[in-house]
Amino acid sequence: MAYDEELAKRIRNAITLFPEGFTEKKMFGGVAFLYQGKMTIGPVKNDLMVRVIDSKMEAILKQESVRPMEFTGKPMKEFIFVSPEGFKTEEQLQNWIELGLEHAKSKLK
């Protein structure tokens, strides 16, 4: 399953703003960017997969361009997909990265 290589490049560029190290891992038919081993964000086909803390899921899912992430017909807990309209600008992409980073940091406590 292919993923948007240009989106992956945009993410790589954007995460350089964070001094902490990120790693990459192929998964979900795309590539995931992990913060200290915790999945944060990544391109899957033409969409953006983002991990979201549970307390923000309801509000996030109300946004345009956002839908639950599902592969088997059942939504995965704390995962969303954002369609390309939702990350056109670098500012939009940065917001999603920060949301995914918030989720990862919450799992390190």
CATH number of 23's domain: 3.30.1460.30
Q: Of all residues in the chain, what percent are helix, strand and coil, respectively (each to 5)? A: 40, 35, 25
Q: How far apart are CA 18 and CA 22, in angstroms?
A: 9
* Residue 1 pLDDT grade (very low, low, confident, very high; cuts 50, 70, 90): low
Max Cα-Cα span within the chain:
38
Look over the chain and give the mean of its residue pLDDT values, rounded to a whole number. 92
pLDDT tens for residues 61-90?
999 999 999 878 888 899 999 999 999 999
**Predicted model pTM:** 0.92
- Compute the average pLDDT of residues 91-107: 96
Q: Please tell me the total count of domains within the chain.
A: 1
pLDDT tens for residues 10-57?
999 999 988 778 999 998 778 999 999 999 999 999 999 999 999 999
Domain that holds residue 59: 5-107
Three-class secondary structure of residue 98 per DSSP? helix
CB atoms within 10 A of CB 52: 22
